C-alpha cells in the first residue's frame, strides 16, 4: 500500500464489531413467529424485499427493520396476526437496540496501533442514536479523530465527506466488510480500499461483480492483517 | 445583541419550517383509531408518556413515534386491536416521513440576508435520514456552512459541538423555538440565544421556569425580527 496514506476510514458494523448476526437472529425469530401463516422461506424473502423497498423512507437500522417486520406481519398473516404477536415483534426490535457490542478479534489493538501513525475516522451508516450508543459501548471512540454517521454510503456521500474534511482521495484508505458500501464507491473516487469479508454480510450489501485487480484494492482475512500493510 | 457574534445556529423543526402540527395531527388520528378501547384523552396521555419513556432507546422523530404508537395500541386495546389498524398506524408514520416541508413566514429571506454577514449552521435533532430529507426539500441547504444533526440537544451536546467546530460561545447565537433544547443549554455555556416561541411546541420541550432576564437572552415574535437585532 502506498506510503502517502494519511487517513484511515473504518466501517463499524461487522468490521469493528459484529452486527449482522444479531439482525439475522431477530429475523429468524420473526419468521418463526409467522409460521402459522406462511413458510419461513416465504417470510424471509418478503421481509428482505420490504426492507429494500422501505430503504428510501426508513433508511438502515433496527428501528427501520422493526417497522418493516410489523408491516410484513400484517400482510403475510392476511391481517390475522394478533396484537400480542405485534408486541413480540416490537420487542425483537428493542432487543437489537440494546444488543451488546462485541468487538471483532483484535479490533482495539489494531485501532490503537494504527492511531499512532494515521488519522482515524469512523464512517458508518444507519440510525444515529443507535450507532452512537454502539460506539460508546465499544470503547473505541477515543481512537477516532472524527465520527461520521451517514444516511448512505454511495459515491456522492463519500465525495461530499472528502470535500468537507478536506481529504485527498489518494491519502485515504477505507476499511470495511461491504463491497457495495465501503469498497466500490471509494475506489471510484481514486481512494484506496481494504476489504475484510465478513461471513454474515446482509444480502443487500452483496454485489455480483467487482474488479479485485484494481490497483488501489486489497483484500485481507482479518483486522490484524492491516498492520503489516499499513505499518 | 453584541457585535462580536460571528456564527448563528438555527434550529430547524418549528423554527424554519413547521413540524409539530404534523405530529399533532397524526397523534389525533391515532387516538381516534383507539376510540373503541379508550378515551382520546387517555390515549393522548399514554402515548406522550410512552414517547418520553422510549426516548433513550428510540430517540426523536417519526419512526420513533410510529413504534411508540404501535406499542401503545397493543396495550391500550388490551391486545384486542386488529392487524388492519396496526397497518393504519404504520401508514400514519409513513405520512409523517413524507410530509411536505412548509417554510415558516420569511425563513428563506431571513436566512439569505443573515448569510451575508454571518456563518450559519443548522443544528437539529432527530432522525438523520428524515432531517436530511426535510432540509433538501426546504431549499435552505445552500445557505448553511455546516449541518449538524444531533441525538439530543443538551449542554454536553452543545459543548462537544462548540469544541469540534472551534466555536467561541460568546461569538455564537442559537435561534430556536424550544427553551429546553435551543435556549437554556446554550445560555448555560455563555453563548447567546434568541427564542422564537411556536404555538404547537411539543409538551416534552416545555420547561417550567427559566430566566428571561439573562443578559444573553432575547425573545422575539418571528424570524424576521432577527434582522434588526443581528443586522
Residues A57-84 have pLDDT tens digits of 999 999 999 999 999 999 999 999 999 9
Q: What is the mean pLDDT of residues A185-200?
A: 93
- Separation between Cα atoms, residue B216 and residue B126, nearest integer Å: 27
Is the confidence at residue B1, as pLDDT, over 70? no
Confidence band, pLDDT 50/70/90 cuts, at residue B105 = confident
Do B35 and B76 meet the contact criterion of CB atoms below 8 Å apart?
no
Phi then psi dihedrals of residue A209, to 5 deg:
-140, 140
Is the confidence at residue B76, as pLDDT, over 70? yes
Check B73 against A59: CB less than 8 A apart: no
Hey, of A38, A58, A62, which one would you mutate to test binding to chain B, going by the most B CBs within 10 A of its CB? A58
Question: A73 at the B interface (CB within 8 A)?
Answer: yes
Residue B101 is classified by DSSP as: P
Hey, of A86, A94, A131, A132, which one would you mutate to test binding to chain B, going by the most B CBs within 10 A of its CB? A86
pLDDT tens figures, B179-192: 999 999 999 999 99
Find chain B residues with C-beta within 8 A of A81's C-beta.
Answer: 83
Q: Give the closest-approach CA distance of A53 to chain B in angstroms.
A: 13
| Cell digits of residue B18 | 413547521
Question: B119 at the A interface (CB within 8 A)?
Answer: no
Indicate the range of A11-25, A155-169, B114-128, B200-214 predicted with least confidence. B200-214
Instruction: Give the model's pLDDT for residue A164.
Output: 86
Supply the mean pLDDT for chain A: 93
- Separation between Cα atoms, residue B136 and residue B149, nearest integer Å: 14
| Cell digits of residue A53 | 423497498
- Separation between Cα atoms, residue B195 and residue B174, nearest integer Å: 8
- CATH architecture label of A20-97: Orthogonal Bundle (1.10)
Instruction: Give the model's pLDDT for residue A199.
Output: 83
Buried b (16+ CB within 10 A) or exposed e, A66-85: bbbbbbbbbebbeeebbbeb
Judging by DSSP bridges, how do beta strands B119-125 and B146-150 pair with one another? parallel
| A164: nearest CA partner in chain B | B146
Confidence band, pLDDT 50/70/90 cuts, at residue B162 = very high
Domain boundaries, chain B: 7-17+101-230, 20-97
Instruction: Give the model's pLDDT for residue B164.
Output: 86
DSSP string, A98-150: T----B-TTHHHHHHHHHTTSEEEEEEES-HHHHHHHHHHHT-GGG-SEEEEE
Check B84 against A63: CB less than 8 A apart: no
Question: A148 at the B interface (CB within 8 A)?
Answer: no
Instruction: Give the model's pLDDT for residue A207.
Output: 76
Hey, of B51, B128, B150, which one would you mutate to test binding to chain A, going by the most A CBs within 10 A of its CB? B128
Q: Do domains B7-17+101-230 and B20-97 have the same CATH topology?
A: no
Q: What is the mean pLDDT of residues B220-224?
A: 95
Is the confidence at residue A3, as pLDDT, over 80? no
Instruction: Give the residue from A163, A212, A161, A203 showing the smallest Cα distance to A184.
Output: A212
Is the confidence at residue A2, as pLDDT, over 60? no
Is the confidence at residue B46, as pLDDT, over 60? yes
Instruction: Give the model's pLDDT for residue B207.
Output: 76
Q: Give the closest-approach CA distance of B120 to chain A in angstroms.
A: 15
Residue A17 is classified by DSSP as: B
Q: Percent of chain B at pLDDT above 90?
A: 87
**Looking at the domain covering B7-17+101-230, what would its CATH class be?**
alpha beta
Higher per-residue confidence, B126 vs B27: B27
Higher per-residue confidence, B98 vs A2: B98
- Separation between Cα atoms, residue A134 and residue A12, nearest integer Å: 9
- Separation between Cα atoms, residue A175 and residue B117, nearest integer Å: 41
Do A102 and A18 meet the contact criterion of CB atoms below 8 Å apart?
yes
pTM above 0.90, yes or no: yes
| Contacts for B206 with CB less than 8 Å, ≥ 6 apart | B179, B180
Q: Which residues are registered as beta bridge partners of A204?
A: none
| A88: nearest CA partner in chain B | B71
Check B87 against A71: CB less than 8 A apart: yes
Is the confidence at residue B2, as pLDDT, over 60? no
CATH superfamily for domain A7-17+102-230:
HAD superfamily/HAD-like (3.40.50.1000)
Confidence band, pLDDT 50/70/90 cuts, at residue B3 = low
Q: Give the closest-approach CA distance of B130 to chain A in angstroms.
A: 8
Instruction: Give the model's pLDDT for residue B212.
Output: 77
Find chain B residues with C-beta within 8 A of A87's C-beta.
Answer: 71, 74-75, 79
pLDDT tens figures, B166-219: 999 999 999 999 999 999 999 999 999 999 999 877 677 777 667 778 899 999
- Separation between Cα atoms, residue B189 and residue A204, nearest integer Å: 44
Instruction: Give the model's pLDDT for residue A209.
Output: 65
Instruction: Give the model's pLDDT for residue B42.
Output: 97
pLDDT tens figures, A123-157: 999 889 999 999 999 999 999 999 999 989 999 99
Picking from A59, A84, A90, the nearest residue to B67 by CB comes out as A90
Q: Percent of chain B at pLDDT above 70?
A: 97
Instruction: Give the model's pLDDT for residue A129.
Output: 92
> What is this model's ipTM?
0.91
Supply the mean pLDDT for chain B: 93
Amino acid at each position: 500500500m502506498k506510503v502517502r496514506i494519511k487517513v484511515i476510514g473504518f466501517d463499524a458494523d461487522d468490521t469493528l464489531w459484529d452486527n449482522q448476526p444479531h439482525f439475522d437472529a431477530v429475523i429468524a425469530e420473526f419468521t418463526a413467529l409467522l409460521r402459522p401463516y406462511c413458510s419461513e422461506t416465504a417470510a424471509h424473502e418478503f421481509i428482505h424485499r420490504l426492507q429494500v423497498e422501505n430503504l428510501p423512507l426508513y433508511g438502515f437500522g433496527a428501528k427501520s427493520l422493526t417497522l418493516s417486520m410489523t408491516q410484513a406481519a400484517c400482510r403475510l398473516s392476511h391481517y390475522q396476526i394478533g396484537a400480542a404477536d405485534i408486541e413480540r415483534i416490537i420487542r425483537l426490535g428493542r432487543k437489537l437496540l440494546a444488543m451488546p457490542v462485541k468487538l471483532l478479534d483484535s479490533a482495539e489493538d489494531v485501532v490503537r496501533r494504527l492511531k499512532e501513525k494515521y488519522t482515524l475516522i469512523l464512517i458508518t451508516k444507519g440510525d444515529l442514536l443507535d450507532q452512537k450508543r454502539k460506539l460508546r459501548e465499544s470503547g473505541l471512540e477515543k481512537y477516532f479523530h472524527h465520527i461520521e454517521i451517514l444516511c448512505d454510503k454511495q459515491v456522492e456521500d463519500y465525495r461530499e465527506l472528502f470535500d468537507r474534511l478536506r481529504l485527498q482521495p489518494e491519502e485515504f484508505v477505507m476499511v470495511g466488510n461491504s463491497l457495495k458500501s465501503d469498497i466500490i464507491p471509494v475506489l471510484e473516487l481514486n481512494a484506496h480500499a481494504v476489504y475484510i469479508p465478513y461471513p454474515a454480510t446482509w444480502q443487500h450489501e452483496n454485489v455480483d461483480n467487482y474488479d479485485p485487480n484494481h490497483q488501489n484494492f486489497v483484500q485481507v482475512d482479518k483486522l490484524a492483517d492491516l498492520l503489516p500493510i499499513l505499518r
